[in-house]
Amino acid sequence: MRKRIAGLTLLAVLASSAPLASPLAAQAVSAGAQAPTRTIFVGATVIDGTGAPALPGMAIVVEGDVIAGILPVEDLAADVREGAEIVDASGWFAIPGLVEAHTHLASVADRATAEFILNRQLFAGVTTVRDMGGDARALIDLQRASLVEEIPAPDLHFSALMAGPGFFGNRRAALAAAGERTGAVPWLQAVTDETDLAEAVTLARGIWATGIKVYFPFEGELLGKLVPEASRQGISVWSHVSIGPARPLQVARAGVRSMAHSCGIVQAAIPDDVYREGEEGTRSGVVEVDLNGPEVDTLFATMKRNGAVLDPTLRVMVPRPWPGVAESDTVGPEVPGVADTARGPGEADNPDPEQPPPPPPANTRPRGVVADCGLEEAIEATRLAYEAGVMIAAGTDGTSPPDSVFPALHEEIRYLHEWVGMTMMDVLTAATRHGAVALGREDTIGTLEPGKHANIVFLRQDPLAGPGSLRSVELTVKRGRLYYRRDFVLGAPPRPGLPGEVR
């Protein structure tokens, strides 16, 4: 299973065959090749993220920005050590760099806030983030700045959003396209039966998006055409579980790569005939559902068969900790009377007892049925998905308070372990490999294996002992570059008044 290397020849081969599948990797090449430097982390206990047991006393050999080999320290040849920078990792645990699978860094473009969040993530072990919708003009600039090491930040992947025209009356959608017409720009595209889907997908690829995010309202039939076209052009489709009128089962059957928000599973439990009555206007309001019924079973079986990853985003279900800023990991303010771009119908729960319930979203269809979903239901739905063997990715759709020195992803990891009941090994997989799968980047990141990006977190405490161990981070390595926790500076919290704020 583990590829071991002994000499320089193989190292050189591995270094020159660094995968170029991702746009980020391709950019790294064009950014200018520096002479490869070798760093060897010596003596760590390695949990490589493949599911293999922890291996103590290992050396991780990093050549430039890729892992060249992982081998027992005693097998390390003298010629490999020669000229290498040696980092004493004895007593430390090494895990793959964490992937935050669901964030919004530029709902409204604000560079200072985004940098604040990204810096905090990187120094706490997050080496990759997936942005699920925002102003791509800002996101691509952040992606570049991170890649060329202008700013300390995880690698940033982002999406181009597509939805039915009904979505774009949303003020937040307008803010994410400020200066242009929302719905008619490559990162926020209104799509209908009339849309040339090949062109729409090409536009998304043209702005360097890693995935297409589909959002409600979305027709099931249209999704069934979009996914193969996206696949033909080599780009992933990321969806919410619930993007009505398309039902969750249709979303899973279409073959999307990831599905967001556990509350969508609760909506999936509404039987088809009841849902149809809602669509036809003969029934409305809240309906009781059975999460153990055949609807949910079929959904899970389909997700599993098609390799769809669920990002439950429990963090966004707990009381928001950052007053004045939207609960999703956005830089935009809460806009009263406007649907959160992070949510679909029936998902806009407000669990904070101190906050008044939000007004109904302006773009919610007036009729239809909905199943109640709060934190408790979201946890239960996640637990059932986990037990059914659906791949779970750790994404927050949320953020930590400005004075917190750790990112929201650490909290999501804790919730998945303590509330959902996932083993720490499975939680680590959720926060690493499954995040990579959700991105479609499992060939280059997500595990510690030769040939992959050197994205590594070194911890003082055993991560399998519990989620609190993540706070013992000593060193984050991203693409071979070292970020010691002792050098972390939280910095000034972003200003409370943000651009576009309506008060």
The residue range among 56-64, 129-137, 206-214, 409-417 that interacts with Zn ion, by the rule CB under 5 A, is 129-137
Residue 132 interacts with Zn ion (CB under 5 A): yes or no: yes
Site for Zn ion in 360-399 (CB under 5 A): 397
Tokens 């499992």, located at residue: 442
What is the closest distance, in whole angstroms, from the C-beta atom of residue 269 to Zn ion in the complex?
21
> 3-class secondary structure for 283-327?
CEEEECCCCCCHHHHHHHHHHHHHCCEEECCHHHHCCCCCCCCCC
Which one of the spans 79-87, 124-132, 275-283, 297-305 is the region binding Zn ion (CB under 5 A)? Answer: 124-132
Give whichever of 172 and 433 is closer to Zn ion, judged by the CB atom.
Answer: 172
Number of residues that bind Zn ion (CB under 5 A): 3
Residues 6+ apart with CB under 8 A from 48: 2, 55, 70, 96, 447, 448, 449
Q: Name 253's Cβ contacts closer than 8 Å, sequence gap at least 6.
A: 224, 302, 306
Residue 115 or 327 having the CB closest to Zn ion: 327
Identity of residue 55: L
For residues 311, 197, 441 and 487, what is the CA-based torsion angle, rounded to 10 degrees?
A: -70
Among residues 237 and 342, whose Cβ is nearest to Zn ion? 342
Task: Identify which of residues 239 and 444 has a Cβ nearer to Zn ion in the complex.
Answer: 239
Give 132 or 227: the residue with its C-beta nearer to Zn ion: 132
Q: How far is the CB of 445 from Zn ion (least distance, A)?
A: 21
Closest approach, Cβ 78 to Zn ion, in A, equals 51
- Give 2's DSSP letter: -
The angle subtended at Cα 480 by Cα 474 and Cα 481, nearest 5°, is 60
Helix or strand or coil: residue 183? strand
Closer residue to Zn ion (CB): 25 or 408: 408
By CB under 5 A, the residues from 304 to 343 that bind Zn ion are 342
Subset of 23-52 contacting Zn ion (CB under 5 A): none
Listed in sequence order, the residues at least 6 apart from 122 whose beta carbon sits closer than 8 Å to its beta carbon are 152, 153, 154, 476, 478, 483
Shortest distance (Å) from residue 422 CB to Zn ion: 21
Q: What x-and-dash track marks residues 149-188 binding Zn ion by CB under 5 A?
A: ----------------------------------------
Closest CA to 215 of 250, 179, 185, 190: 190
Q: How far is the CB of 441 from Zn ion (least distance, A)?
A: 19
End-to-end CA distance of the chain: 58
Distances, alpha carbon 78 to alpha carbons 7, 8, 75, in Å: 9, 10, 9
Within residues 211-270, the interface with Zn ion by CB under 5 A covers none
Cβ proximity to Zn ion, 183 vs 395, nearer residue: 395
Instruction: Return the number of the residue (45 or 128) whose C-beta is nearest Zn ion.
Output: 128
User: Whose Cβ is closer to Zn ion: residue 132's or residue 437's?
Assistant: 132
Q: What is the CA radius of gyration of the chain?
A: 22
Residue 479 Rama label (left phi>0; alpha psi -120 to 50; beta): left
Residue 149: CB minimum distance to Zn ion, A:
28
Q: Which stretch binds Zn ion (CB under 5 A): 131-139, 276-284, 415-423, 450-458?
A: 131-139
Q: Judging by DSSP bridges, how do beta strands 211-215 and 155-163 pair with one another? A: parallel
Length of the chain: 503
Report in angstroms how near the CB of residue 132 gets to Zn ion at its nearest: 4
How far apart are CB 301 and Zn ion at their closest, in Å? 26
Which residue minimizes CB distance to Zn ion? 342
**Residue 182's CB: how many other CB atoms inside 10 A?**
22
Binding residues for Zn ion restricted to 401-440, rule: CB under 5 A: none
Q: Which is nearer to Zn ion, 100 or 397 (CB)?
A: 397
Shortest Å distance, C-beta 329 to Zn ion: 8
Q: What's the min distance (Å) between Cβ of 102 and Zn ion? A: 6
The residues binding Zn ion (CB under 5 A) are 132, 342, 397
